Structure formats: structure tokens, C-alpha cells
Structure 1
């Protein structure tokens, strides 16, 4: 529907006006005409108060607003007379907005002028868009609550290379998350902070509040009461986003204002809707969830062999060994050092890894040595010639991954290299793109009128990268496409591996943009061995889950600087629960593989023993992420959105919906101050009697902090599928499954298990070989003093052949009524006397000796008399 609404302002409108005054704003637009039909509205805007700061204003603007789905609203503002740069549809497929003229024509009208304002909404959507005049502003609100989600001030600035818009926020009611990539002390955004988005190879990624390798102009807003919504500004140009607590101001140096609003209302629903738009996260191969070891400084094949042997001897899981640039001949991609990494020595080593169920991954950088470039023309240009940069090989050219021929060349080189060394994955580094050389300004693009706060000191856009006056394929400027470089490379690398292996690719990318999760995992870059870096890694990990890149982790024990045994042990205990778990160190640091110190070896055996037991659960979370966007690691408010005390928790996190990790993040700590939302919580390690939080908002609990493990708890109401640990993921997959049933106070629980071969290109697709089983548990009183707790399985899909032979061997129940006078076990309504039972601790009870095929539905019933 479309309706006229009053133009009278409300309290938020007054607030935005006051903000405008504080910012000395004067520019603005009036609405000339508005026309709408159904879920679509278009308006013409004319400049009324121009300014000369940052250049002349665009005099006429077009606005379109459309409810593209019930949960997604699109609002786009652009120059009415000139085409402007926008994120290309080949990298971000989306609906093309209907132009104002086309809309007029479809309605059989030449024009439409409305004296006040207009609204679009529909009964099935909770979102409502309203345009107000004059002066122009727009609001986005929620039907069900009347809450205003986005309310722009009357000042809109739209120049060739400077765009500015401000929206008001309800003071004290909005908790914001997102807007990265930055190193932050907290996960929840703090007022009076500026978020600069410009992909940068920062020399010191341990410094706080500076722009890093990726740009994600997306935030989630969680309001009091638990309703959440998301806001994306789809724009690849550099920008500063100022968060003032009661307002957000966007200051963008190009492109268009292209906003997408996602209704939620739950945090999980927001991420579902967001990733439905930007693209679902790519399925990661099963092996990638194992533990990986790397070092910048493994100088020979013998070094690699020694490390693999060290892990085997220490009985610490090792899934893959990685090579940094040490393996290359002079730092050149797709080459081998003929002395230290000759093919006749490296290939047999990789073959032995594969025979042991282990993997090999190497780094690649997005440049080709100038003297080694092919006689083809697909490189970045400046002033008509190839841009000459300086990176590890010396003088280099940069492939232009926007050019299809560059992607073809990349695929050919990857395939050619894999014929020599069959690597299992590729690690895309330096792809901001990074450059060691210095550049002088060539034209006005190199020195825009507004200087974003690059690197915290307003450094030039050309700092540590290629100049922004560089030209890409189809005359696209680096000024516009800089933040997309890593995404284009990740896409080309993913496609190359997919074509060459016909298996699920594994790509790790440093530089990211919305949609990068469709192709790659991410690590948090060159961190340092410091306690604050350990804690801050949680914030970045949680942010990337919101950004649609769930496979994320930080270098365990830190990349730069020497660590201590205590710090490294605590980092292992946390890092074992990163979705992507890898240790990686700089060549100048002391060696610190996890087996070097006995204290770290103990932590590694326990922490990664737990991780490998949890692999079926973690891999099922990957399936959920791939199909719904749900992060693998989540903040507490994702499961408890109505508990406002969870909004600021960022020293703990959830693995899935119910595994709560409370790591030690300070030196010398013997306890951890942990927050537990309302409900039952069980220790994952010893299945101890539940900690029951009966209050509505949860409570803080002081936990003991053993030196060899983090505190890990399971929320009542969850069923976890587990397996016995192994030294590789393939070894762990050979054993039988176990179910860990944590009963809620009402005696119920649920969970699921996804199975496939771990490497097929599709994950859960139509016609694929996969199995999905859902488990449920209920407790009922059969007669006075007799209670029956029943676990049932429901096979949703079953086409993965091993699911017929894979069995559940035991079930552990936590939270049963205790003590019991006696019990009887039934499987599929038949009493089983041979099943072994054991009371583990108060309220915990195990049933073993079972052999229940995963692919067949079953029912396990425990009848207990009290």
C-alpha cells in the first residue's frame, strides 16, 4: 500500500535536526515529486541549500524505495542525471531498482507531486518506509511496535566525491554490533567512535580502533526487549562512519547511498536475511575444522617433517601443516625454492601427509614478478601502463581480478602448480592489495577533497597499496573498487580450486567485503602475543559471524612477539573453540609449536581432544551456517535476546546455541567471572549437576579456572552429537557416535546431526549424498513416582551411505531426577537388559552398549522410579 502521512516531526525528527545543527550542516534537499505503486516508491529530490565544502552539490537526486521481500527494504539515492559507480551485480547479485520514469510509465502517469509525504508497507511485512518533505528526510519503522529503526536528519549531502547522511538512534535503547574490520576492546560498539572502512595492510594490527583488512558497512541493532534489525550500506568506496551513541553519520567518498534494511526481529533472523541477500557462507570441508600449524620461517621440507613428527609424538591432533612464503622461489607465487623445497622432496612429503589423513596448505599473494609476467594484458593500469608495485618478489604487476582473463590465468596457474604439489587449500594473503612502494598523486582521485581517517592518522588512500588512480577492466577505478579486490581474488581462487579438484574448496582470505563468505574463510591477521590481543580476538570473531563469514579465527599464541607458556596455554584453550583453529608465528619469534612446552601440550591435548569430540556438532553448525547464515560462534544474546545483560558480554561466547565457553583472558587468573543466562547449565567436561539460574535475567558466577582448560558449559535443552577424538578428523570420523542430552528444567531437549563425506561440492543440496537427523527428548510422569525420559530421532533426509553403518553407541543424560530407586531401558519399545548403565554424577546417567544406526529412526526410553 501507499498512503499520505503527516509531515509533522516527532521527537526523533527533532533530535536529528539538533544533530544537524551541532554538525553545522546546511545542505539539504526538498521533495519535488513522489509516485508509488504497491511495494515501490520513487521520488525526485532537488537541492535547496548547497555548500561548496568538498565540492559542488549534485542538484537533482532520484530516490527509490522497495520492499523486496517481507523482511528486506531497499532504499537507494543517486544522481538523477549521471550514472555513478555502484557495487557490480556480478559480485553482488541483486534486484535492479525500477527507475522513476519507468514507474511513471507503468502507472500511465507523466508526473505526480505530493504536498507532504508518502509511505510504503504491506500487511505481511513488519517494515514501513516513509518519505517526508519538505525538507526531505526518510524513516524506516517497525509495524508491530511502532519503533523507528532509521530516521535521517534533514541534512543530506550528495557531491561527486562526498556523501553524508545522519540517522538518529533512541538513546539508551539501541545496542549496535558490526561495522568492521577493526580491532576493538568490546564487541558492542561504543559511542564517540569512528569506523573507517578502507582495506589496509596495517603494520600494527594490534593497535586499537584502526581500519584493517576488510570493509563491512553493516551493523545489527538490538533494541531493549530483544528485537533486532540490520542495516547495510552497500557501497565499496572509502568511508568514515561516526557512531555518536544517539546517532550514526555516514561520510562516504563516492558511489551512491544504497541502503538495505533487514527486519529480524531475532538476531538469528537478521543474519539469515542478510546472508540471503549477500550470499550464504560457503561450506567448508570437514578437514578444515581440525587443528592447523604454520610458521613464517619453516625454511625447509625437513622443518615441516620435524613439526609433523613432533605433534605425532606428543599425541596432539594435527590436521594440516602450512607453508608461508618460505616455500617460494624468491617470493614468487606458484614456484618452489629449488634448494629448500624441491619438488622431488616436497611431493613425497605431501603424499605421506595424505596417506596419514593430513593436509597441506600454502600461501599465495596477488602479484606476479615483473620479469615473470605472461605476455597477456590483464594487469592493473595507471596512466596507460601496468602498475609496478613492490612486494616480496621485488617489482611486481597486480592481476586485475575484475578482468575475466585474469581469473582464467589464475585458474591455470593453480592447476599447473597442483600437478606438481597437490595442495589441499590456498591461503590468500596481502590482498588488500598490499604494496611496499610509495606513490605520488597522479590526479584528483589520489587526493580526494575529504580525507577519511585511514590508519587513524588520515593517511593517503595510496598508503601501503596500489594508487587509487589505478584503472581496472572496463575503466573501473581503484578509487571505487579498492575494497573489492580481496573479494574478487577469493572468488577467482575458489572457482579455480573447484574446477581443478571437483571437491569443496578451502580458501582463506585476509581481505574481505560483504559476500566474501561465499568463497572464503578469514583469519584476523598479524596479531601479537599479548593478553589484550587474546581477549580482542573474541570481538573480531563474533563480528565476522554477523558479517556472514562464520569460518574465522585468530593465530593461536599470537603471530608477532614472543609468548609465554601461560599465555600460549590460555590461547590454546580459547582457540580450540575458534571455528578456524590455526597456530601461526613470525619467523623472528621463538618456536612455540604446541608440543614445545609440556604445559601447552597438556592444554592442547585436553582442549583439542574436546574439539575433536565436538566435530560432529561443529560440522552440523557449518551446515546451519551454509543454509541459514547462522554463525558457528555466537554472542550470548543470539540465544537470549530478551536478556539485556547479555548485550555487553564479550569475554564469553556460544558455540552454536548452547555450548558456553568462558576462557581465561588475564595472566595469573585462578577464577573467571562468567555470566549465565537463566536456565540450567552443565559442565561439558564432567557432566556435573547443573548450575540452575532461576532468575529472569541470569546471574554472574565465579568459576574456578584450571590451568589446562577453559570452562565450558552446555545449556539445558540441548542434545549434542559427539565422537571419540582422534589425531586427525578422518581418524575421529571412524568411531561410533554418542549423544549428550542436557535436559531443560521441563525435561526436554533437542539437537541435530548433519553427515556427508565432508568434501562434496554441495552441502545438503538437492540430489546430494547427505543425511540430516533431528533428535528430541521429552520427560513425562507415567504413574506416581515413575518418570520416563525418551530420546527420539527423526531422519529428515538420508542419502549418505555410511549413515547406515554409522551407529550411536551410547547416550549420556544430564539433569534426570535423582536419586532413582531403579530404572529400565527400552529401545524402540523393547526392553534392553544388555545395555550397560552407569550413574556418572548426581543427575547424570549413561546408557552404553547400544548400536543404533544413524540413518534409521529410533527411540530410547529410560524409565526411572523414585
Structure 2
């Protein structure tokens, strides 16, 4: 069978064609409530706020404000505060669709009721959230939980209340101390640990900074955090604001200092972390489904010299027997680094077309894009400053930048992609440096370029100046953090329209809602052991922000890797949702076949990944439907385990597959934390860890090994390993049934062609299948049932369960098992032709040759004795 691989190209955004002010005066004195109106439905409240006393720090205060509180759903509360007299910048509803805008306007125009001294409470019977407006001076508000056993508010604004100026907004909330609140999120930053560290300030201003730098603002802005309280009771908080900001977390408080826009706060009631993700992505947009091939292994390097270099890499992987699904080039293929061009010497059209055809004929893939200067000038779709198109500088030299707010920009972008597609067919788009990165630092033009409050990242440094103007007189000052989101949307929509298939877009810059259109990688990390460890908090954060398809550059992007580091990195990176080796031009070559020990590790780790592809793909479906990350922190499955809240060196794939990598140089063992349960090693089923309480266990981790365990209670749908995803998909299915301590297990599998635009669409049930499995065992008898939610696609393509493996059938003294009988839908198949039933060690046995259609409901019963 021929291998199936793809080639992806790089796209940059080139067209050629802090410190706060110190003061003794307070930043603000707060506001008082003049009047309030509660809607007869009881779901919403509007209040008029008036400034108490002005201050001169960071500019004059806005005197009159409107406050709106509304239950948009039973689990989502919105609190919005804005200028009464003048419209202010807020994220347009066509970018992130939101409810209640017309309602807010009409509510603010109604006659108001003069307040009494008592607080005003907004609550509805089917919500656990309660909003309280306190008529104090200055006013405050709290959000509490009806079911809470303690008195700790979820959000509690503190004196002197809010500050609201034209270029400076401030709001703070107290938080319970004494380990009664754990916070996660607020990115994008490279951090040593997943949990937020008390005393840190997180700056949100999308920046072209190497991800190898700790605690600096990186490529995305996500003012969202998850708050986990004792017992795992969780809620989420989003400040939907695209302006630059500093967010300071002390452990007992969180404070926002924002340089524009409005307060637009959303509270998500949970109460579990998984429920918060469902509620959050319901608002910002469900994650985009990824093509099946995107879950294969990808190879990239900035510095491939020519077409022959690309061909030699593809051949090197094939010779080493290492799976390779996607082959990328960086900006090397471009003519003078201009998008949508090919270098006529090293990457000529004829040779590139022949190479792409070879890959496609072998069932492999490619990715690219470019924007043309003259057509962009003709359409007038470039960003402007001071009355002219803004001239920046990136790889080609002088450049213009597209303005994706312009109504013609999306059509322009689609046409440029379409033109290039006709020259060289590509399978997806890789969008880099879209923060926007700019190699010059402009001089200040006005107060937008030099705001009175200085966030801890210079707003002019290596980017388009904030005084640049988008279509509709929208300033870059307000819209800077949205650029990557808007370009991702344009690319996603263009590819969908042009190809009629599910698009693959990989974006470096992100904002709230980017996961609706794009995958993400964590940026320019470094080839060292520290960055290997940092990759875990980084991918977990991306999942928390609604971008589940994420990975870090395996073996490290900048600097020279080495054999041991690269070996350990592929052992870990093989299990990232997005798995790609990527390096820079000045580093040594690091393709996985260069070192034999790395090649062996790659074959082993990627072999398991490819067996787990149906599981990964089903998790993509779950992410699409519920927003649940693919890579998850341990506490997502064990929210009431306080130790799991601290873990940043391990993670889960889905609900029950745990990755415990080696992150230290020279280590041949790892101390891994196991929450309560039975945990089976997926490389060696006889290697079992039983944790009666959450506990750390010292595991062997030889130089070419990583520990991957499945928790009892899970049924994994798997297929055989292969060199490509297409080849693996043609193999029979195995159900790995791992019973928990109570003799129970469940799981599911989602199937489609991997390229249909919608995943699980209701309009055409013939394009997909979903099958749910349950299992139970007691007193030597067991049963596994398959419930088909929709089986048409699986039945049409004759997918079959060929093998079953049962684990955890003994809860006492391990013994070799003997299967006495095996029935499917009441018919004994133990002695059927081609069916093999045999013990595979203590507490387990396997069934082979079953040929049970996966698109049909079935009930399998078995009996066994020791």
C-alpha cells in the first residue's frame, strides 16, 4: 500500500509587492448608583452609575455609566458596564456573536426606579448564579453561587470600585485564600506550571516574542480564567475586551487594568471544569473540526534548501519506517519571501508541482498562501495610517498589511488563495507572524501610540502602531489583538469555499474564539530541557481557551537539539494533539531518522499514537460538540483531587489516557501521580498501577520509553499502526475494554471520511457514525454492548471490530484466565471459524477474528474462570 503524506507551506503577513505611571493620587474614587430597573422577567437589570469624585491620573474620568446584568442562559451571566453618553469600542457582534445587544439598548431607555438602600438581587430559579448590586458608596457588585456551602463569592468587586476613563479601566475582585481557589488561564504566556502563580502579572497584547521567554505576552490574548474551588466546584470568568491589559493575580485578588474599551464580563457556572468549557465555547464558538490526516505526524524546518531537500526528507522517513503524514516548508519556498509566490530557482513551479503530485499520489498532503500587492492596492484593502497605506517592514522588506475589517478583504483573500491553488494545490494554510509582527518600531503619532497607562509591553514594539486605522475608522489600538482571529476566519472560510472540504488552518496569533477557525502551535520555543517541560502547561492552556488542536515544536525550534533531548521530546510530542517536528535555519538538522535511538523512540511512540487515532478523532468530535479539550489537565477527570490541581508535568488525552513523560536530562525513571483507580500501561498491559488513594509512583522510563496509561473504566476504539493515517484507517478495529474497580467501562467512537466540512451534521446522516460502548463484569460473567447512535456511514464502509482485549477482570489475586464461552447477540462464537479466544496474562484475555460490524448494535457476553 502506498504511503499517504501531505505538504504544507508557510504564510507570513508580508506584502511587497512597563511600567505604570507612579502616583500618590488614587486612580479613581468609584461610582454611586443613581437608579435601577429590574425587568419584569427577573432575568435582567439595568442601573445608572454616577462618578463620585474625579481624579487626574491616566486622564479624566467618564462621569456617567450604564450597568447591565442579564442571565443569557441558566449557566451564563453577563455584566456589562459602558459609557452612558458616548459609544465606545467593543468587539463587534459579527466577530463574536452575542445576545442581548438590542435588549440592552431598550432596557437603558426605560424609566428608572429610584434605589433604596438595600442591595438589588438578580436571580432566576434555574440558575446557580446570583448577581447582587450593592448600593454602597462606591457601589460594588458580587456574583455568588446559590448552592455554595461556604460564603465565598465567585466575583466580588472591591473598593474603591471601578475606574472608567477613556484610556484606562480598572476593576478588581477579591478571592478566597487558604487554598480555597485555584486559577488557570489568562494567556498566552510560557509558564513553568499550569496553575496561575500568585504575585504574577499577565499582560495581554499580541506580540512577536519567542515562546522560549518565560512570563512575557506571546501570540494570543485570552482574558479568561477557570476558578476551581474545594471539591472541584468550578466556574469561569471572561472579560471580553480586545484592548491591551495587565491582569495581576495576588492569590487573594485579581485586578484588571485595561487601556480601552468597556467592561464586558461573562460568568460561567460550571460546576465542573468540563461543564465550564461547554458553556464557554457555546459563547465564543465551538472548536473547528480538524481533518483526520491532521492527526498524523508532521515534519517541518525553516531552511529546506530546495525541492530535492524536501524529497530527501520524505525518503528518509520512509527508509526509517517512521510514520510521516505531512511535509511542510517554511518561507524558503517563496520568491523574495513574498506570499503566494515560488522561488523560481530552488522551488520552481514545475518541480514543485511534480513533488506535490507525488505526495498526493502517495496519499500525502500540502499547505500554502500569498497576497498580491497590485490587487490589494486596487481593492483598497490595506491598513492605513495618517491618511496613507501603512508601510511596514518584514521578510521581503517594505510591506503593506491586509485589513480584515474591510468588507472586500475576505473576497480578496479567497481569490488570492484560489489563484495559487490553481498553480499548486495545497491542503491547508499556515499563518505565522499575524500578531501583527513588524520589524520596525514606529515613532509615536498621538496618544494612541503613547497611552497614559503603560502595560508591561510596549504597544509600539515590533508591531503595527496603534494609531493605524482599519476600515470603519477602527483603530489598531482597539483591534490589535483581533488580527489573528480575523485572518484565521478569512482563511478558514476561503479554503472551505474553494475546496469544499474541511479546512486546516494553523495560526500563531489567537484571540477569544480563534478555535472556531484554526489550530495553534505554541510558537518559537527553544531546544532545551526547560522548554520541553514548559510545553505541557502551554498545550493545556490552549485547550482551556477553546483551541484543542495544539502542539509544541518537537525537539525545539531554536538552538541545537541533541539526541537525548530529541528522543525524550518525540516520546512526549507523539501525544500532543498536533504533532510536528519543527526547527530553524541556524540549528542542526533534527529529523527523527537522524539518530537511530530517536528513530526507535519515534516508531514506538508514534506507533501507539496511530493505534489511538480513532480515539483522538473521537475526542475531536467531543471538542466540536462540547468544547472539551483533547489534551486535559488531570483535574478535568478528577476535580475533587486537590493534588491533581497542582500537576503540570503530566496530562490526559481525553478522559482516561494519561501521559507521564521524562522531562529531566539523564533520568531513567519518573515520579508520576496516579489519581484513584486502576491504571494499565498501554505499551505493556501487565504493567498495572492500582491507586487506592491518589499517590505518586516511581515508574521505570528507559531511554527509549514513555509511560502511557489508561484508567480502568474506559473503552478505547483503536486500529493498527501504519505509516499514514489512510493506511491505518483501512485496518480492523480493536476495542480495548479496561474495567475499573467496580467492573464497569464505557467509551465511544466517531467515524466519517475525515474531510466532510461539518462533523456530525444533522442534515446528512449518511456522512458519519457514532457508536457508544458500555461494559460490565461480575462473578465471572461480563458483557459489552454497542449502542449505535447513527450507523449509516460505518455500515456503508463495512468497518468491523476485529479484536477485543479485556483488562482488569481480576480484582483480587491475579490469575491466568480461561474463557469458557463467548456470545454475540446470543449466538456462541467461541468456536466459530477464524475466531480465537485466549488468555493474554493475569486478569486479561483477548478475542481475535470477530468481524463484528461496528455500524450495528451488538451485545457480547463472555464467561471466564481463573
TM-score tier after normalising by the smaller chain length: over 0.9
Whole-Å separation in 2 of the counterparts to 1:668 and 1:445? 51
Q: Which ranges in structure 2 are unaligned for 5 or more consecutive residues?
A: 1-22
Equivalences for residues 56-95 of structure 1 within 5 A: 56-95=60-99
Whole-Å separation in 2 of the counterparts to 1:134 and 1:686? 64
Whole-Å separation in 2 of the counterparts to 1:212 and 1:658? 31
2:602 corresponds in structure 1 to 604
1:308 corresponds in structure 2 to 314
Q: Deviations over 1:647-673 (max 9, x none)?
A: 010100000000000000000001101
Query: Is 1:662–1:711's contact at 8 Å kept on the other side of the alignment?
Result: yes
Equivalences for residues 346-357 of structure 1 within 5 A: 346-357=352-363
1:181 corresponds in structure 2 to 188
2:821 corresponds in structure 1 to 824
- Selected match of 2:304 from 298, 307, 312: 298
2:156 corresponds in structure 1 to 151
1:574 corresponds in structure 2 to 572
Whole-Å separation in 2 of the counterparts to 1:489 and 1:391? 17
If the length of structure 1 is used for normalisation, what is the TM-score? 0.94
Equivalences for residues 174-573 of structure 1 within 5 A: 174-202=181-209, 204-362=210-368, 364=369, 373-454=376-457, 459=458, 461-573=459-571
Whole-Å separation in 2 of the counterparts to 1:305 and 1:609? 23
Pairwise CA distance, 1:859 = 1.6
Pairwise CA distance, 1:103 = 2.7
Whole-Å separation in 1 of the counterparts to 2:71 and 2:104? 16
Whole-Å separation in 1 of the counterparts to 2:294 and 2:242? 30
Query: Is 1:679–1:744's contact at 8 Å kept on the other side of the alignment?
Result: yes
2:5 corresponds in structure 1 to none
Q: Secondary structure at the match of 1:703?
A: strand
Pairwise CA distance, 1:23 = 10
Whole-Å separation in 1 of the counterparts to 2:279 and 2:663? 34
- Selected match of 1:717 from 685, 704, 713: 713
1:790 paired to 2:790? no
Pairwise CA distance, 1:101 = 7.1
1:734 paired to 2:727? no
Q: Which ranges in structure 1 are unaligned for 5 or more consecutive residues?
A: 1-20, 782-786
Q: Deviations over 1:364-396 (max 9, x none)?
A: 57x766x78542211100011000001111111
Query: Is 1:557–1:572's contact at 8 Å kept on the other side of the alignment?
Result: yes
Q: Secondary structure at the match of 1:413?
A: helix
Whole-Å separation in 1 of the counterparts to 2:256 and 2:112? 34
Q: Deviations over 1:318-370 (max 9, x none)?
A: 001011111110011111111111111111111110111111123x57x766x
Query: Is 1:42–1:99's contact at 8 Å kept on the other side of the alignment?
Result: no
Equivalences for residues 6-25 of structure 1 within 5 A: none
Whole-Å separation in 2 of the counterparts to 1:799 and 1:74? 41
Pairwise CA distance, 1:51 = 1.1
Query: Is 1:508–1:520's contact at 8 Å kept on the other side of the alignment?
Result: yes
1:18 corresponds in structure 2 to none
Q: Secondary structure at the match of 1:766?
A: coil
Q: Secondary structure at the match of 2:568?
A: helix
Whole-Å separation in 2 of the counterparts to 1:744 and 1:659? 14
Q: Secondary structure at the match of 1:326?
A: helix
Pairwise CA distance, 1:767 = 2.4
Aligned length: 828
- Selected match of 1:707 from 697, 703, 723: 703
Equivalences for residues 626-665 of structure 1 within 5 A: 626-665=624-663
Pairwise CA distance, 1:100 = 6.7
Whole-Å separation in 1 of the counterparts to 2:801 and 2:703? 33
Pairwise CA distance, 1:560 = 0.3
What root-mean-square deviation, in Å, do the aligned CA atoms of Structure 1 and Structure 2 show?
1.6
Q: Secondary structure at the match of 2:482?
A: helix
Instruction: Single out whichever of 827-836 and 613-622 deviates more from structure 2.
Output: 827-836
Whole-Å separation in 1 of the counterparts to 2:681 and 2:533? 22
Pairwise CA distance, 1:800 = 1.1
Whole-Å separation in 1 of the counterparts to 2:260 and 2:598? 49
Distance 1:317 1:802, change over 3 A: farther
1:6 corresponds in structure 2 to none
Whole-Å separation in 2 of the counterparts to 1:318 and 1:186? 31
Task: Pick 1 or 2: higher relative contact order, CA cutoff 8 A, min separation 6.
Answer: 2
1:167 corresponds in structure 2 to 173
Q: Deviations over 1:544-577 (max 9, x none)?
A: 1010000000010001000110000000000001
Q: Secondary structure at the match of 2:188?
A: strand
Pairwise CA distance, 1:114 = 2.9
Query: Is 2:89–2:262's contact at 8 Å kept on the other side of the alignment?
Result: yes
Query: Is 2:819–2:837's contact at 8 Å kept on the other side of the alignment?
Result: no
Q: Secondary structure at the match of 2:354?
A: helix
Pairwise CA distance, 1:76 = 0.3
Whole-Å separation in 2 of the counterparts to 1:733 and 1:653? 26
Instruction: Single out whichever of 254-263 and 825-834 deviates more from structure 2.
Output: 825-834
Query: Is 2:521–2:550's contact at 8 Å kept on the other side of the alignment?
Result: yes
1:141 corresponds in structure 2 to 144
Q: Secondary structure at the match of 1:225?
A: helix
Pairwise CA distance, 1:60 = 0.8
Whole-Å separation in 1 of the counterparts to 2:784 and 2:25? 61
